[in-house]
């Protein structure tokens, strides 16, 4: 299927590794123009060497106003077909192990920057009369996970935000959706392996195996599979999907609406 993404501009944050990098590479394979972002500069530079004419990057912490402003300065007057908002999550903690400063930091890391970025994006999309906006969150929005109280609580706020915005936008040609990935083979899973191993007194490898057994597929997900879905959702083929939270979890979420 031709997704029709060739020479269209996209922005993908958190692109140095994991989901963000897989998404950026998928879009580039589709012939798109991409602006990527991450705090680690070397992986961004390396990727840009492979696509010098279609890829550029903005280095820095996406949760800061300065980096958000720089991304839009880099876009300039050009039309942007879609944005993928992706960043690392807060530390793995149980509720009684948290302090208020942990909640303040988690708010900044999960919600605040997405609110600011979304305001800027929607202003541009409304001028264009179209746009695709995707938020990479977690299956914790459908089924809370152990030792992740900060993520469990604050990612739900993003779901409420997106649902509300889509109702306000109506038939504007602009769609917003949430991706709720489960256990995937990314570096971010390492913090869960370590947290679970410390809690249960097992090795990180044993913790990894226990996570694999929680899936109905018996394995961790491949970020490339997630990226292929993202590419389709960023295309014009997805125009009838908006305000949705889509699971990619290997069957871990057990609810009927999972």
Q: pLDDT tens for residues 106-139? A: 999 999 999 999 999 999 999 999 999 999 999 9
Residue 187: pLDDT band (50, 70, 90) is: confident
Q: Is 157 exposed, middle or buried (0-12, 13-18, 19+ CB in 10 A)?
A: middle
Please, which pLDDT band fits residue 196 given cuts at 50, 70 and 90? confident
User: What pLDDT does 83 receive?
Assistant: 98
Query: Which residues contact residue 38 at a Cβ distance below 8 angstroms, ignoring those fewer than 6 apart?
Result: 13, 14, 15, 16, 17, 20, 44, 57, 59, 62
The mean pLDDT of 207-217, rounded to a whole number, is 90
| 8 Å CB contact between 245 and 156 | no
The confidence score (pLDDT) of residue 195 equals: 77
**Residues in CB range of 164: below 8 A, 6 or more apart:** none
Between 104 and 207, name the one with better pLDDT: 104
Q: How many domains does the chain have?
A: 2
With respect to residue 2, please indicate whether it lies within any of the assigned structural domains: no
130, part of any domain: yes
pLDDT confidence band for 32 (50 / 70 / 90):
very high
> Do residue 176 and residue 195 come from a single domain?
no
Q: Are residues 94 and 195 in the same domain?
A: no
pLDDT given at position 42: 95
Domain hosting 197: range is 184-220
Instruction: Assess if residue 257 is contained within a domain.
Output: no
* pTM, two decimal places: 0.94
Regarding whether 200 and 142 lie in a shared domain, the answer is no
Residues 100 and 194 in one domain: no
Q: Is residue 66 domain-shared with residue 189, that is, in the same domain?
A: no
Domain shared by 42 and 140, yes or no: yes
Identify whether residues 135 and 201 lie together within a single domain.
no
Q: Judge if 112 and 206 occupy the same domain.
A: no
Residues 49 and 59 in one domain: yes
107 and 20 housed in the same domain: yes
Residues 113 and 178 in one domain: yes
| 176: phi then psi, degrees, rounded to nearest 5 | -130, 130
């Amino acid at each position: 299927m031709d997704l029709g993404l060739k020479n269209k501009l996209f922005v993908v944050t958190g692109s140095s590794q994991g989901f963000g990098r897989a998404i950026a590479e998928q879009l580039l394979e589709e012939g798109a123009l991409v602006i990527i972002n991450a705090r680690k500069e070397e992986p961004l530079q390396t990727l840009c060497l492979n696509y010098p004419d279609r890829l550029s990057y903005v280095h820095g912490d996406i949760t800061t106003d300065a980096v958000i402003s720089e991304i839009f300065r880099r876009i300039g007057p050009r039309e942007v077909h879609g944005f993928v908002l992706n960043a690392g999550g807060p530390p793995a903690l149980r509720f009684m192990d948290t302090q208020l400063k942990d909640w303040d930091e988690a708010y900044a890391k999960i919600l605040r920057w997405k609110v600011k970025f979304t305001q800027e994006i929607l202003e541009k999309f409304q001028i264009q009369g179209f746009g695709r906006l995707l938020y990479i969150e977690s299956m914790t929005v459908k089924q809370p996970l152990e030792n992740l109280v900060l993520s469990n609580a604050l990612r739900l706020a993003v779901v409420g935000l997106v649902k509300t915005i889509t109702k306000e936008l109506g038939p504007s040609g602009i769609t917003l959706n949430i991706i709720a990935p489960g256990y995937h083979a990314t570096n971010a899973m390492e913090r869960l392996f370590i947290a679970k191993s410390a809690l249960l007194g097992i090795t990180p490898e044993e913790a990894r195996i226990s996570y694999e057994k929680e899936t109905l597929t018996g394995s961790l997900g491949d970020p490339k599979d997630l990226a292929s879905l993202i590419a389709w959702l960023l295309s014009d083929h997805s125009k009838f999907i908006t305000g949705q939270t889509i699971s990619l979890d290997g069957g871990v979420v057990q609810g009927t609406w999972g």
